[in-house]
Amino acid sequence: MSALLPVEQRIHQLRTAVTAYADQYHTHDAPQITDGAYDLLFRELQDLEAQHPGLVTLDSPTQRVGGAILEGFEPAPHDRPMLSLKDAMDNTDAMAFVTGAAAGLGVDTEALELTGELKYDGLALAASYVGGVLVRAATRGDGITGENVTSQARTIRNLPLRLPMPIDLEVRGEVVMRKNDFELVNKQLLSRGEKPLANTRNGAAGSMRQLDPKITASRRLSFYAYGASELNGETPFNATTQWDLIQALLNLGFSIAPETAVVRGWDGVQSFFERVGEGRAALPYDIDGVVFKVNTLQGQQDLGWTNRTPRFAIAYKYPAEEAISTVRDIVVQIGRTGAATPVAKIDPVRVGGVMVSSASLHNADQVHAKGVKFGSTVIVRRAGDVVPEICGVVPSAADETLRCFVMPLHCPSCDSRLERQPGMVGSYCPGGLKCPAQKLAKLCHFASKLGMNIDGLGDKSITALIEAELISMPSDLFSLQAPDVASLPGFARVSAAKLTKSIAAAMRPELARFIYSLGIEGVGEATSKALAKQFGAWSRFRVATYDELIQTPDVGPDTTANIQRFFADECLGLEADSLAAITSPQDSLKTTGSNLSGKVFVLTGTFPTLSREQAKALVEDAGGKVSGSVSSKTSFVVAGDSAGSKLEAAQNLGIPVWNESMLLAALAS
132 touches 126 (CB < 8 A): no
Provide the minimum distance between the beta carbon of 27 and ligand IVH in the complex, in angstroms, as a whole number.
Answer: 17
- Detail the DSSP E strand segments found in 231-319: 261-264, 287-294, 313-317
To which H or E segment does residue 657 belong? strand 657-658
Among the residue ranges 118-126, 360-368, 442-450, 515-523, the one whose residues contact ligand IVH (CB under 6 A): 118-126
Residue 84 annotated in ligand binding:
yes
Provide the minimum distance between the beta carbon of 474 and ligand IVH in the complex, in angstroms, as a whole number.
Answer: 47
Residue 86 annotated in ligand binding:
no
Give one word for 489, left, alpha or beta, with left for phi > 0 and alpha for psi -120 to 50. beta
Q: In what order do the strands lie in the sheet with 636-639?
A: 625-627, 600-604, 636-639, 657-658
Residue 21 annotated in ligand binding:
no
To which H or E segment does residue 29 belong? none
Which amino acid is it at 231? L
Work out whether 85 is an interface residue with ligand IVH (CB under 6 A): yes
CB atoms under 10 Å from CB of 319, counted, come to 15
Residue 411 annotated in ligand binding:
yes
Among the residue ranges 18-26, 113-121, 460-468, 589-597, the one whose residues contact ligand IVH (CB under 6 A): 113-121
Work out whether 84 is an interface residue with ligand IVH (CB under 6 A): yes
Work out whether 303 is an interface residue with ligand IVH (CB under 6 A): no
Beta carbon nearer to ligand IVH, 84 or 539: 84
Here's the x/- map for ligand IVH, 165-184, by CB under 6 A: it reads as ---------x----------
Beta carbon nearer to ligand IVH, 204 or 512: 204
Provide the minimum distance between the beta carbon of 246 and ligand IVH in the complex, in angstroms, as a whole number.
Answer: 9
Give the distance from CA 636 to its chain's centroid. 35
Of positions 23, 44, 49, 117, contacts ligand IVH by CB under 6 A:
117
Beta carbon nearer to ligand IVH, 116 or 253: 116
CB atoms under 10 Å from CB of 282, counted, come to 8
Say if residue 200 is exposed, middle or buried (CB neighbours under 10 Å; 0-12, 13-18, 19+). buried
Task: Write down the catalytic residue from 86, 119, 590, 599.
Answer: 119
Here's the x/- map for ligand IVH, 46-75, by CB under 6 A: it reads as ------------------------------
- Tell me how far apart the alpha carbons of residues 270 and 293 are, in angstroms, rounded to a whole number: 14
Work out whether 301 is an interface residue with ligand IVH (CB under 6 A): no
- Tell me how far apart the alpha carbons of residues 619 and 196 are, in angstroms, rounded to a whole number: 39
- Tell me how far apart the alpha carbons of residues 154 and 161 are, in angstroms, rounded to a whole number: 7
Residue 317 annotated in ligand binding:
yes
Contacts of 94 (CB under 8 A, 6+ apart): 88, 269, 270, 273, 292, 314, 316
Beta carbon nearer to ligand IVH, 125 or 349: 125
Residue 399 annotated in ligand binding:
no
- Tell me how far apart the alpha carbons of residues 54 and 274 are, in angstroms, rounded to a whole number: 54
At 133, phi and psi to the nearest 5?
-110, 135
- Tell me how far apart the alpha carbons of residues 170 and 271 are, in angstroms, rounded to a whole number: 32
Work out whether 245 is an interface residue with ligand IVH (CB under 6 A): no
Beta carbon nearer to ligand IVH, 308 or 493: 308
Which residue, among 282, 233, 531, 515, has the nearest Cα to 385 in the 3D structure?
282
For the question of residue 119 being annotated catalytic, the response is yes
Work out whether 124 is an interface residue with ligand IVH (CB under 6 A): yes
Of positions 315, 332, 391, 619, contacts ligand IVH by CB under 6 A:
315
- Tell me how far apart the alpha carbons of residues 120 and 57 are, in angstroms, rounded to a whole number: 31
Work out whether 119 is an interface residue with ligand IVH (CB under 6 A): yes
Exposure pattern of 242-263 as b/e (b: 16+ CB <10 Å)? bbbbbebbeebbbbbbeebeeb
Work out whether 226 is an interface residue with ligand IVH (CB under 6 A): yes
Work out whether 310 is an interface residue with ligand IVH (CB under 6 A): yes
Q: How many residues bind ligand IVH (CB under 6 A)?
A: 14
Provide the minimum distance between the beta carbon of 299 and ligand IVH in the complex, in angstroms, as a whole number.
Answer: 15
Of positions 291, 380, 477, 561, contacts ligand IVH by CB under 6 A:
291
Residue 79 annotated in ligand binding:
no
Residue 44 annotated in ligand binding:
no
Work out whether 445 is an interface residue with ligand IVH (CB under 6 A): no
Of positions 83, 239, 261, 466, contacts ligand IVH by CB under 6 A:
83
- Tell me how far apart the alpha carbons of residues 119 and 290 are, in angstroms, rounded to a whole number: 5
Residue 35 annotated in ligand binding:
yes
Among the residue ranges 115-123, 445-453, 500-508, 554-562, the one whose residues contact ligand IVH (CB under 6 A): 115-123
Among the residue ranges 31-39, 78-86, 277-285, 538-546, the one whose residues contact ligand IVH (CB under 6 A): 78-86
Among the residue ranges 90-98, 112-120, 333-341, 532-540, the one whose residues contact ligand IVH (CB under 6 A): 112-120
Helices (H), 536-637: 538-542, 546-549, 557-568, 570-583, 612-621
Provide the minimum distance between the beta carbon of 280 and ligand IVH in the complex, in angstroms, as a whole number.
Answer: 14
Provide the minimum distance between the beta carbon of 418 and ligand IVH in the complex, in angstroms, as a whole number.
Answer: 45
665 touches 641 (CB < 8 A): no
Q: Which residues are annotated as a binding site for NAD(+)?
A: 35-39, 84-85, 117, 140, 174, 293, 317
Enumerate the active-site residues.
119
Residues binding ligand IVH (CB under 6 A): 83-85, 117-120, 124, 174, 226-227, 291, 310, 315
